[in-house]
Amino acid sequence: MGDRSLALVAGAGPGLGSALMRRFEVVGYHSVGLVRSPSAEAGILSCDLSDGEAVKAVLQPAIEQYGAPKLVVHNPAHLVISALADTSQADFETCWRAMALSAFNLAQAVMEPMAQAGEGTFIVSGATASLRGGSRFSAFASAKFALRGLTQSLAREFQPAGIHVVHVILDGIIDTPASRALHSLDPAKMMKTDDIAQAYLDLANQPRSTWSHELDLRPQSESF
Is the pLDDT confidence value at 218 over 80?
yes
Tell me, what's the pLDDT at 103? 98
Percent of the chain with pLDDT over 90: 92
Q: What is the mean pLDDT of residues 31-44?
A: 91
**What per-residue confidence (pLDDT) applies to 182?**
84
175-181 long-range contacts (CB < 8 A, ≥24 apart) are 176/14, 176/15, 176/16, 177/14, 178/14, 178/15, 179/15
pLDDT, tens only, 57-87? 999 999 999 999 999 999 999 999 999 999 9
Given a cut of 80, is residue 2 above it in pLDDT? no
Task: Return the CATH fold of 6-217.
Answer: Rossmann fold (3.40.50)
Element (DSSP H or E) covering residue 64: helix 52-66
Q: Quick one: CA dihedral 137, 21, 119, 60, positive or negative?
A: positive
**Backbone dihedral angles phi then psi of residue 150, each to the nearest 5 degrees:** -60, -40
- Where are the domains positioned within the chain? 6-217
- Model-level pTM? 0.96
Q: Which pLDDT does position 1 carry in this prediction? A: 42
The CA distance from 178 to 77, in Å, is 13
Percent of the chain surpassing pLDDT 70: 99
Please determine, for residue 199, whether its predicted confidence score (pLDDT) is greater than 70: yes
The mean-pLDDT minimum among 8-12, 41-45, 146-150, 153-157 falls in 41-45
Task: Find out whether 140 and 148 touch, Cβ atoms under 8 Å.
Answer: no
Reported as a single tens digit per residue, the pLDDT across 113-171 is 999 999 999 999 999 999 999 999 999 999 999 999 999 999 999 999 999 999 999 99
Distance CA 194, CA 21 (A): 10
Mean pLDDT of 95-104: 98
DSSP state of 133: -
